[in-house]
Structure 1
Amino acid sequence: MAQTRFAPDRGLTSRMVATMFFIGLLYVVVVGVLVVLLKGAWAFVLLFSGALFIGQFWFSDRIAAFSMGAREVTPEQAPELHAAVDRLCALADMPKPRVAVADSDVPNAFATGRNRKNAMVCATTGLLRRLEPEELEGVLAHEMSHVAHRDVAVMTIASFLGVLAGLITRSAIWSGFGRSNRDSNTAVAVLIVTAVSAVVYAISFLLTRLLSRYRELSADRAAALLTGRPSALASALTKVTGQIARIPTRDLRKAEPFNAFFFAPAFSKESAARLLASHPTLEQRLDQLSRISAQLGRP
């Protein structure tokens, strides 16, 4: 597929490859657990696991969009939003994604899609009400850079696959312990595979979070360079972060499970370790944009 005019990021590419390697390793371990616990049914396990993986790849983006209440809109329904996306597509030389709006007062945006041809960019009604045109364009450029770098597909698969793998592992463990009284060898096997699975899952989780933080910085950088207005993106970041703090906690908690997809985290605790955060801190993002402004010679 042809390259876009978004600035390439080899660091992001290498991190995505490493993350998917570990996620794939986790998936293999989960399959191993099922094979151990379901003796004589390995063909079913492999078939089920393969179907699950394909299902995640093809439908997880739609599930995410549906869960976040994204509603596709026409140029007549959202002219300013479509106009901003059109300008960015012309700048980036990339196909226009589907454009959607989510009816939420939480000011945010996200992108989904396996590739550029079936991507969708969504802004919340809260974001559209609060941002100036240049700020909105900066946010949309950030989201479209995720599509251009293909990290939307990687994060979608990694996030959903990790959750499902964890659920399958726990189900397999419970099933195995239920039979352990009759088969001590099975009990030992379950304990060993469970320990390995837990370690791999923990590593994969941390690596996914590390990738998530890096991809946000990468998207900020690519958006600032494409639009040439890092100050507009910095203003949007400051405004969105400040406005999110005023949203009722119950509404933020509803959006929290989708933080990895958002432009800015919907809910985060000051006491939470940075190692577990899905986004870099506001200070890190603003500092990077400030350096880009200095490089471009713009205020």
Structure 2
Amino acid sequence: MAHTRFAPDRGLTSRMVLTMFLLGLLYVVFVSVLITLGVRTILVLLIAGGTLLVQYFMSDRIALFAMHGREVTPEQAPELHGMIDRLSAMADMPKPRVAIADSDVPNAFATGRNQKKAVVCVTTGLLRRLERAELEGVLAHEMSHVAHRDVAVMTVASFLGIVAGLMTRVALYSGLGGRARDDRGGLPIGLIIMLVSALVYGVSFLLTRALSRYRELAADRAGALLTQRPSVLASALVKISGEMARIPTRDLREAEPFNAFFFVPALSGGTSLATLFATHPPLNRRLEQLARISAQLGQGV
């Protein structure tokens, strides 16, 4: 984590290291299996590597373009810039660029591979619905993502999933091709490749989603400790989650692909199985953590 006054999170660091280690191990096993099966993986790795580099170096531009966000100057959004200025000074970190997305879905996100390339974006729906203190709590949460370099970590973590997904498509579109069957007359080689790739994709998907959920808890914690007002962040969480129910389903589904970026997911399942695949922890878990922080600070919830 770069030098800031955001509270360090050893749990987040250890989970990042563990996830990267497991993904790296899985990658080595996956490539070894492909080589054993006689698959030439160079083209797939080049395509996946190119995709990773584009995501890594252009994440800020891609996210703003996809969400129809636009950078705003201090003259265009003086109050928003004032809050970002204050939080940047409190956190002792460079001020990120500031953007607004014209969307009624109340949300916010931060992106960019490092602090110098970071941008914090809020929607017009969020600006209309939150009080100043609540908005500041949300911004502190998003800026902690920047301080922890979450976007860069999650981009790198997605590499194995990209490779496995491409291999699954190659095997599928080739009609389960390659050699018709293995040397023992078993399953077609193409089918084996597709099954192994699908399994690797599933495991890497679950690992990155588990890391994504924890990083949201870490951002809640760091943001609450920076502002010393966890109850305000809890209020924003409850308000935004409640307002989501009033947004047309069509609009929520359009925003759903960007859940991993958002402060609160546009759509979230209520079952335990859906939680396993979710980018964010359940609302009650986030509120429980903020309540514990309030108690530690000697405040009411």
TM value normalised by structure 1: 0.88
Counterpart contact for 2:71–2:100, Cα < 8 Å: yes
Paired position in structure 2 for 1:104: 103
Cα contact 1:31–1:45 (8 A) shared by 2: no
Q: CA deviation at 1:231?
A: 1.1
In the aligned structure 2, how far is the partner of 1:28 from the partner of 1:64? 31
Select between 14-23 and 109-118 the one with higher mean Cα deviation. 14-23
Give the deviation of 1:45 after TM superposition: 4.8
Alignment CA distance shift 1:174-1:193 (3 Å): closer
In the alignment, does 2:88 pair up with 1:92?
Answer: no
Tell me the alpha carbon deviations over residues 76-127 of structure 1, each in whole angstroms, 9 at most, x when there is no partner. Answer: 1111111110000000000011111111101000100111110111100000
Aligned-residue sequence identity (percent) comes to: 65
Structure 2 equivalent of residue 168 of structure 1? 166
- SS state of the match for residue 154, structure 2? helix
Q: Looking at secondary structure, tell me which structure has more helix per residue.
A: 1
Q: How many residues align?
A: 296
Structure 1 CA distance for aligned equivalents of residues 29 and 175 of structure 2: 18
CA gap of 1:162–1:38, structure 2 versus 1, over 3 A, is same
Distance 2:97 2:128 in 1: 20
Structure 2 vs 1, CA of residues 260 and 75 (structure 1 numbering), >3 Å: closer, same or farther?
same
SS at match of 1:184: coil
Mapped to 2, the partners of 1:136 and 1:248 lie a distance apart of 23
- For 2:44 and 2:32, locate their aligned partners in 1 and report how far apart those are by CA, in whole Å: 9
Q: Which structure is richer in relative contact order (CA contacts within 8 A, separation 6 or more)?
A: 1
Query: What is the alpha-carbon root mean square deviation over aligned residues?
Result: 2.6
1:245 Cα deviation from its structure 2 partner: 1.2
Is the 8 Å Cα contact of residues 25 and 200 (structure 1) preserved in structure 2? Answer: no
Amino acid at match of 2:207: L
In 2: Cα distance, 1:147 partner to 1:23 partner? 23
Measured against aligned partners, the alpha-carbon deviations of 1:239-294 in whole angstroms (never above 9, x if no partner) come to: 11111111111111111111111101111132362212221111111111111111
- Matched residue SS, 2:8: coil
Q: Which SS does the other structure have where 2:251 is aligned? A: helix
* Residue 191 (structure 1) aligns with: 191
Question: 2:270 aligns to what SS in structure 1?
Answer: coil
User: Are 2:237 and 1:237 aligned?
Assistant: yes
CA distance in 2 between counterparts of 1:43 and 1:268 reads 37
| TM-aligned CA distance change 1:166 to 1:61, over 3 Å | farther
When normalised by structure 2's length, the TM-score is: 0.88
Which residue number corresponds to residue 69 of structure 2? 70
Question: Given residue 206 of structure 1, which amino acid in structure 2 is its aligned partner?
Answer: L
Give me the whole-angstrom Cα distance separating, in 1, the residues matched to 2:43 and 2:269.
Answer: 43
Q: 2:115, 2:219 → 1: CA distance? A: 15
